[in-house]
Amino acid sequence: MAADDARTGADVPKPVHQDITAISTISIHGLTLSDTKVSLSRAESFPSFQYDDCEPQICDDPSWDPLPIPQNLAHLDLRLTDRINEGRIGLVYGVDVLGSRDRALKLPSKLCVKIFKPNSARTAAREYWFYEQLARSGRRAGSVAARCFGFFTASLSDLVDENGLQLTADRILPWEEALIDDRGRPYPENPVKRAARKAALATKRDILFGDDEFYWKSQEGDTFTERPSPWARWKSSPTQPLLAILLFERLGEPLTRFSNALERSEALKDIQELVVDLGRTGIMHCDIRLPNILRVPEGTKPPMCSCHKCRHWWRFVDFDQGVKTDSSALGRYFAITIPVMTVANLSWDI
């Protein structure tokens, strides 16, 4: 652990990175089958539990609370472009930035959105919380993970098309284009069976690791109260599905192949250093795989790492399975050593 981190600990607040506080609302063209413009507003994150002694614990540290939702700030106008990837809980698409009401806001012209499947909005809120935590860590935001510009939601019950008709789930293009379910299994080719599988998943509970411990904490004796969060008991509704989106910078290709042994060695060193940087915030990714490690976009100059005094050329994505340790030296050691071992044991025969 760096001396600076050891001295400051978790009690000294750091400025929140501006990426995550600059945008209040977004509109996306091309998100529906009829190309209706869909508007979404910022939503609150879902704090994780504290991973202490291999057990989930409730954390009352104010730094774990959700960040305030930015009000009356920038609005982005976006257009959905190419499909990039699909996972168990969401689909990633490129977006072009068509314009912003805030001329002072400087963003790349091309970003990407992670559009969560109808039953996974709660997981989206949890994943966003980890990006908030990185934003609170100061310089590590955007240097170990993708730059995140916010978490946005809209209930389909509040959205109408150009004819004034309420939007339904079967008119959301990414949801209709989804090919796999929450277990990674392909949907049936038969349209009737496919629709039935999707309808069943739309009502499936969005379970997160440590849920039982997160919902409740002991007050006195056997008296329990629920932790205050709009996401604590959230359930997806087939009649009023929630559209949940994370807005990111658009990164490059995933870690798949190298041209020679030197390039592979340099990438391994870079990624191990990123794990150390991430671990110093107490965050454990818990799903470090090659597809979740993306290259910095070509032509982009990464920020200088204050810890390793170099520029890192890879970024972690998909924190939906993450956990966070306590702020003690042991907690940080735990958050660093296990992921470093995980990286060392990845299949590097590529």
Range of the domain at 31: 3-344
Residue 110 lies in a domain: yes
Distance between CA atoms of residues 40 and 38, nearest Å: 7
User: Nearest-CA neighbor of 48 among 237, 326, 288?
Assistant: 326
Is residue 114 included in any domain, yes or no? yes
93-117 pLDDT per residue, tens: 999 999 987 767 788 899 999 999 9
Distance CA 90, CA 216 (A): 28
Q: Is position 349 within any domain?
A: no
Do the Cβ atoms of 312 and 273 come closer than 8 Å? yes
- Answer yes or no: are the C-beta atoms of 334 and 342 closer than 8 Å: no
**Distance between CA atoms of residues 112 and 191, nearest Å:** 29
Q: What letter does residue 156 receive in the DSSP assignment?
A: G
Rounded Cα–Cα distance for residues 44 and 324 (Å): 18
Local structure of residue 70 (DSSP, 8 states): P
Could you give the number of structural domains in the chain?
A: 1
350, part of any domain? no
Q: Where are the beta strands (DSSP E) in 221-282?
A: 223-226, 242-249
One digit per residue, the tens of pLDDT, for the chain of length 350 reads 333 443 334 444 556 778 888 999 999 999 999 889 999 999 999 988 766 555 556 666 788 889 999 888 899 999 999 999 999 999 999 999 999 877 677 888 999 999 999 999 999 999 999 999 999 887 677 789 999 999 999 999 999 888 888 898 889 999 999 999 888 899 998 989 888 888 888 778 888 876 655 544 444 444 444 557 889 888 888 888 999 999 999 999 988 777 777 877 888 888 888 888 888 888 888 888 888 999 998 888 888 887 788 888 999 999 998 888 776 655 565 566 666 666 666 655 54
Structure tokens at 240: 């009023």
Q: What is the 3-state secondary structure (H, E, C) of 297-323?
A: CCCCCCCEECCCCEECCEEECCCCCCE
d(CA 285, CA 292): 10
Confirm whether 196 is domain-assigned: yes
Q: Would the CA dihedral through 128, 134, 138, 140 be positive or negative? A: negative
Instruction: For residue 313, give both structure tokens.
Output: 């050329």
- pTM reported for the whole predicted model: 0.87
